[in-house]
Chain A
Amino acid sequence: QQQVKQSPQSLIVQKGGISIINCAYENTAFDYFPWYQQFPGKGPALLIAIRPDVSEKKEGRFTISFNKSAKQFSLHIMDSQPGDSATYFCAASNNNDMRFGAGTRLTVKP
């Protein structure tokens, strides 16, 4: 069964809007939560990551919100741009065991 559940499967946002992608996990041993961004024809690349000792991490327009008690975390993309159109994967890791969500295809319309 999937250890990391990601939603929505696809998302369409207008330019300048906020994109929100949610993930939930089961294994409380996970201690590293990255988000990967994948453009067509490319491999996934690390976008931003968080550890469970903080509730939020922000890098530019990208923010991870983390709720340890609910075992949920989310990616917020502020002021979404057409160049953000890609597939986003959340993941959860414990040591070298990394589990990925199913992915969200984000389309930002100009």
Chain B
Amino acid sequence: DVKVTQSSRYLVKRTGEKVFLECVQDMDHENMFWYRQDPGLGLRLIYFSYDVKMKEKGDIPEGYSVSREKKERFSLILESASTNQTSMYLCASSYRVGPYEQYFGPGTRLTVT
């Protein structure tokens, strides 16, 4: 079974803190994704990576950065957390060349106070 794990299920941080969210997948997938999930807005893509050290901006990259030093690991960084970044963060992975099914981790509920 594909497994995507995320470093924390719940996280509470203060405004201005630097926040690291980590994601690891065990299926040797080329693609990895970071989404945020907000009620009524569905899943919005923050960044994705199709290879080690490669990254592409998604729809809402402002205030975020990413790092992919190893194929299995994809990190999301909030340089200076703000209250409007309180959300559920989901990591996903998939093969680069079809099928395009994305496998999701359990999510990290981040609260910024």
Contacts and interface: CB of A to CB of B under 8 A. Distances in A.
A28 interface: no
Interface string B28-54: 000100010000111111001010000
Category for how many chain A residues contact B: 20 to 34
A81 to B, nearest CB: 23
Contacts of A49: 101
Residue of A41, A49, A96, A101 most packed against chain B (CB within 10 A): A96
Interface stretch (B11-19, B65-73, B104-112): B104-112
Contacts of B31: 96
Category for how many chain B residues contact A: 20 to 34
Contact of A95 (B44, B45, B100, B101): B100
Interface in B69-100: 90, 92, 94, 96, 98-100
A96 B96 CA distance: 7
Nearest to B35: A100
Contact of B104 (A32, A45, A96): A45
B41 A102 contact: yes
A98 B43 CA distance: 10
Contact of B100 (A9, A36, A89, A98): A98
